Amino acid sequence: MFRFLLNSNSTLLRIFSFRPLSSATATSTVDYLTNTLGFARESAVAVAEELNIKTTTRPDLVVQLFKSYGFTPTHIATIVSKHPSLLLADPVKTLAPKLQFFSNNGVSGSALVHIVSADPVILRRSLQNQIIPCISFLKKVLPTDHKIASLLTAKRGTWVVHKFSEKMVPNIETLRSHGVPESNILRMLILRPRTLSFNTGAFKGILKRVKEMGFDENGLMFIHGVCTLCGMKKAKWESKVSVFRSFGWGEEEVIALFVKQPKFMNSSEARIKKSLDFFMNELHWMPEDISKYPIVLFLSFEKRVVPRSRVLQLLIEKGLVTRRSMGRALIIPEDQFLKVFMSSYEKKIPELWEIYQSNKVGLPRSAVSV
């Protein structure tokens, strides 16, 4: 019988009684994973390369600890497959205090199971230096424990724990002072917590610069603009702007495009150059055309831009559609494109499908008939 006494603020939190699942003092790692956690043999062999179970005592205790918090064998198997060493972690000193802390602070039950299963490395973060300060911070910026749990269970929500910094508090206050909605601040916490760890003085400067560019503080693009500029040195920004200049763009036109869709500046210079070369030199678009449909800068050339543009060029040449149709044709979903620009004109231009197919491999001919 094993007993864990967890003490916080001089209060006894919980007493666990565990009995090892197996009396064997040693077993093969693969057998343990398959028999205890239900691993498929192949998966167990892969995990066993990073794990060497010499005795089942500690793994049994870790499994029982997780089960006491509502984790099923499937959940535990997921955790171990992602981070095998947790199965050999100290259940008393390393795991239990963290699970208990989360549970005591509103992150319990299915939320706790979801968070740890999605990001088991969170249990390797320091309780005193990372987890406790981060949860204390979240309690200051989010109104309820439920909101904290919702944040952490969101996709990439645990990044805030990994990237936590004391600079986050003043930076969030700066955002609030600029009128940025709480919903957008929360989005930044989920998607780009590293941005909120930026030097506070420099962060204020970035916000000032973003406002001067013309971003609306109430809009989501404001957040994306801040994140992009925080992650980019001035020299890199100038280098990317110079690529636009080489295609005849003025700086005001670049900034106008950036305000409309700031994430394009996260693309490499080579990608920006490739996009501008295609749209401006091959399709003869002007800066205002790209600014009207900035999402085209993110589209896949192989899967969408080239095959669709070849079809549109022919339709325009035949006088069946106008040049103004090009932007919309590139951004609509595939099924709509096939219906509006393929099925509608295939009888008039029998070679239309061959042109599309030769530029986009893998789409069956039957897909055109929608």
Mean pLDDT of 100-117: 94
Mean pLDDT of 97-120: 95
User: Among 46-50, 170-174, 233-237, 329-333, where is mean pLDDT lowest?
Assistant: 46-50
Mean pLDDT of 212-238: 94
State residue 262's pLDDT score: 93
Topology of 1-124 in CATH?
Answer: Transcription termination factor 3, mitochondrial (1.25.70)
Q: Is the pLDDT at 81 greater than 50, yes or no?
A: yes
pLDDT tens-digit series, residues 173-189: 999 999 999 889 988 88
Question: Within a 10 A sphere around the Cβ of 11, how many other Cβ atoms?
Answer: 8
pLDDT tens-digit series, residues 146-163: 888 988 998 888 988 988
Q: Is the pLDDT at 226 greater than 60, yes or no?
A: yes
Contact 101, 8 (CB under 8 A): yes
Mean pLDDT of 31-35: 90
pLDDT tens-digit series, residues 339-356: 999 999 988 998 999 999
Locus of tokens 């920004």:
237
Distance between CA 354 and CA 361 in Å, rounded? Answer: 11
Closest CA to 193 of 137, 117, 127: 137
pLDDT tens-digit series, residues 281-312: 999 999 999 999 999 998 998 889 999 999 99
Domain limits, the chain: 1-124, 125-213, 267-368
Mean pLDDT of 216-241: 94
Q: Is the pLDDT at 111 greater than 90, yes or no?
A: yes
In this prediction, residue 252 has a pLDDT band, given cuts at 50, 70 and 90, of very high
Q: Is the pLDDT at 58 greater than 80, yes or no?
A: yes
Mean pLDDT of 26-49: 84
Locus of tokens 């986009």:
360
Mean pLDDT, the chain, integer = 87
End-to-end CA distance of the chain: 66
State residue 314's pLDDT score: 93
State residue 6's pLDDT score: 46
Q: Which long-range contacts (CB under 8 A, 24 or more apart) does 35-43 make?
A: 36/60, 36/63, 36/73, 37/63, 37/73, 37/76, 37/77, 37/80, 38/73, 38/74, 38/77, 39/77, 39/81, 43/81
Q: What is the CA radius of gyration of the chain?
A: 27
Q: Is the pLDDT at 27 greater than 90, yes or no?
A: no
Closest CA to 310 of 364, 365, 370, 351: 351
Mean pLDDT of 10-28: 41
In this prediction, residue 65 has a pLDDT band, given cuts at 50, 70 and 90, of very high
Question: Within a 10 A sphere around the Cβ of 357, how many other Cβ atoms?
Answer: 15
* Phi, psi angles (nearest 5°) of residue 16: -105, 135
